């Protein structure tokens, strides 16, 4: 891969300096230089004119359920528990074809909103439906985005006091065997990796204490990260206190699940002691403001977490609980939700951008590789058009964060162009959209008898 130079852009490194009219030099898959003014002359370099553009690190999506692209628009007036009860049964009918189409559309949509790295939390594995985990991995590879799939699991069905029906849970031995196999088959720990696997039992209301403990033991033995949902709703708080006699965060702490190798989705309903403990242990939080609002779950205490020094990233969550939400749009949602609750100084544009980039990288343990524009880091760059209508805002970071998401002039992942002119180029954009629609129609047909 040759040298590429982005010049005349407003460069926001996130880690420190900003360079109006600055430049980036990309050498292969790495950032070679970043600075003010014209770029140094490099013979044979491809030059990208960033005039009228804002250059940021590629965005990092820290929580998602890609398969849910196929079940959007359902249970639109439900709480989380009502929504789950409504959707568990159709999800039990999904197959690898549904997952492949949903993942392709979901990841393509994320790329078009500036996302270069995405996680996915897949925790429903119907028997005899193909290799669902491999299907989403193949979709990410085709699109060319960095991918962190989380092998999820549920083993507490309704007969054991859990929320999901028994037909969508797995037994402990199967979960541990399949999770270990997924790590061995797919996880790449190398610098610049395009694919890393995490271990992710679903939630305290769908997973046994034994599975939580064994999952942590497996992940730490394999050197991979841990992920789960936590404190998303007051219903969860009530359920956890009934089942375990403590709050969700206290429960995780009691079983050794807090630490710098863990990141947790949502964390809406935290007590003061929980906020302090997450900060002390360097446990990450994936903040999903649109999903939390769509389900009426509440507003997470992100401002308090940041004040305490906790690690916080952004996530769009599953498409079925945040229909067609772009990751860049969550920057704005995070700002507005915090200000609606805590006042106009609660969260700034640059704090929210950091959550979407370097904060997300920290959640995934990749802050040495991605999340900021620094020499030696990977060439994951988003180039936003902040001219035209957006030029009425003098501060380009505010233009990105406060208003409608600007057009994406270019998105590079490891120096490779994935989006150009606001259009996917690695896979035809119309084809990706069609796959998502086909996945929805297929799942609705397969689930016809339970809808």
Range(s) of the chain covered by CATH 2.30.40.10 = 3-57+371-424
CATH for 3-57+371-424?
A: 2.30.40.10
pLDDT: which is higher, 242 or 12: 12
Strands 30-35 and 46-49: unpaired
8 Å CB contact between 409 and 384: yes
With a cut of 60, say whether residue 54 has pLDDT above it: yes
Residue pLDDT, tens place only, 407-435: 999 999 999 999 999 999 999 999 999 99
Per-residue pLDDT at 332: 97
Per-residue pLDDT at 264: 98
Per-residue pLDDT at 163: 87
Residue pLDDT, tens place only, 357-405: 999 999 999 999 999 999 999 999 999 999 999 999 999 999 999 988 9
Residue pLDDT, tens place only, 176-203: 999 999 999 999 999 999 999 999 999 9
Degrees to nearest 5, angle at CA 81 with 80 and 82: 90
Per-residue pLDDT at 450: 59
- Averaged over 312-338, what is the pLDDT? 96
With a cut of 90, say whether residue 1 has pLDDT above it: no
- Averaged over 437-445, what is the pLDDT? 97
Residue pLDDT, tens place only, 78-116: 999 999 999 999 999 999 999 999 999 999 999 999 999
Per-residue pLDDT at 259: 98
Per-residue pLDDT at 205: 84
Across the chain, what does the average pLDDT equal? 96
Per-residue pLDDT at 65: 98
pTM recorded for the entire structure:
0.97
Per-residue pLDDT at 403: 85
Range(s) of the chain covered by CATH 3.20.20.140 = 59-363
What is the architecture, at CATH level 2, of domain 59-363? Alpha-Beta Barrel (3.20)
Residues of the chain with pLDDT > 70, as a percent, come to: 99
Confidence grade of residue 134 (pLDDT, cut at 50, 70, 90): very high
- Residue 168 CB-half CA count within 13 A: 24
Per-residue pLDDT at 449: 60
- Averaged over 5-24, what is the pLDDT? 97
Confidence grade of residue 161 (pLDDT, cut at 50, 70, 90): confident
- Averaged over 309-318, what is the pLDDT? 97
Counting beta carbons within 10 angstroms of the beta carbon of residue 448, is it exposed (0 to 12), middle (13 to 18) or buried (19 or more)? exposed
Per-residue pLDDT at 340: 97
With a cut of 70, say whether residue 56 has pLDDT above it: yes
Q: Which residues pair with 61 in a beta bridge?
A: 118, 314
C-alpha 435: how far from its chain's center?
A: 21
């Amino acid at each position: 891969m040759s040298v590429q130079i982005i010049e005349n852009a407003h460069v926001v490194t996130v880690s420190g300096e900003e360079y109006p009219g600055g430049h980036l030099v990309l050498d292969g898959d790495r950032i070679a230089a970043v600075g003010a003014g014209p770029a140094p002359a490099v013979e044979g370099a491809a030059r990208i004119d960033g005039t009228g553009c804002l250059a940021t690190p590629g965005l990092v999506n820290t929580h998602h359920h890609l398969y849910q692209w196929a079940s959007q628009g359902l249970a639109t007036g439900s709480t989380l528990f009502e929504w789950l009860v409504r959707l568990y049964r159709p999800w039990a009918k999904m197959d690898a074809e549904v997952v492949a189409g949903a993942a392709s559309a979901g990841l393509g949509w994320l790329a078009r909103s500036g996302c270069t790295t995405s996680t996915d939390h897949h925790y429903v594995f119907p028997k005899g439906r193909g290799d669902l985990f491999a299907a989403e991995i193949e979709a990410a590879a085709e699109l060319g985005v960095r991918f962190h799939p989380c092998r999820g699991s549920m083993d507490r069905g309704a007969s054991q006091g859990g929320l999901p029906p028994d037909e969508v849970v797995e037994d402990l031995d199967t979960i541990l065997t399949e999770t270990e196999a997924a790590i061995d088959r797919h996880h790449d720990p190398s610098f610049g990796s395009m694919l890393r696997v995490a271990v992710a039992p679903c939630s305290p209301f769908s997973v046994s204490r034994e599975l939580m403990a064994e999952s942590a033991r497996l992940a730490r033995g394999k050197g991979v990260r841990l992920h789960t949902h936590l404190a998303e709703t007051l219903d969860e708080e009530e359920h956890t206190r009934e089942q375990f006699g403590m709050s969700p965060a206290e429960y995780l702490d009691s079983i050794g699940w807090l630490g710098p190798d863990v990141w947790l989705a949502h964390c809406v309903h935290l007590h003061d002691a929980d906020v302090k403990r997450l900060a002390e242990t360097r446990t990450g939080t994936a903040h999903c403001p649109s999903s939390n609002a769509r389900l009426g779950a509440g507003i997470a205490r992100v401002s308090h977490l940041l004040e305490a020094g906790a690690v916080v990233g952004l996530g769009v969550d599953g498409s079925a609980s945040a229909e067609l939400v772009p990751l860049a749009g969550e920057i704005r949602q995070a700002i507005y939700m915090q200000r609606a609750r805590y006042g106009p100084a609660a969260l700034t544009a640059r704090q929210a951008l950091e959550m979407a980039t370097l904060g997300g990288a920290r959640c995934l343990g990749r802050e040495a590789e991605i999340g900021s524009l620094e020499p030696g880091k990977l060439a994951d760059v988003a180039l936003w058009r902040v001219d035209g209508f957006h030029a009425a805002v003098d501060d380009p970071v505010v233009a990105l964060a406060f208003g409608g998401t600007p057009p994406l002039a270019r998105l590079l992942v490891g120096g490779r162009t994935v989006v150009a002119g606001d259009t996917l180029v690695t896979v035809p954009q119309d084809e990706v959209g069609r796959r998502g629609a086909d996945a929805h129609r297929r799942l609705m047909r397969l689930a016809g008898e339970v809808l």
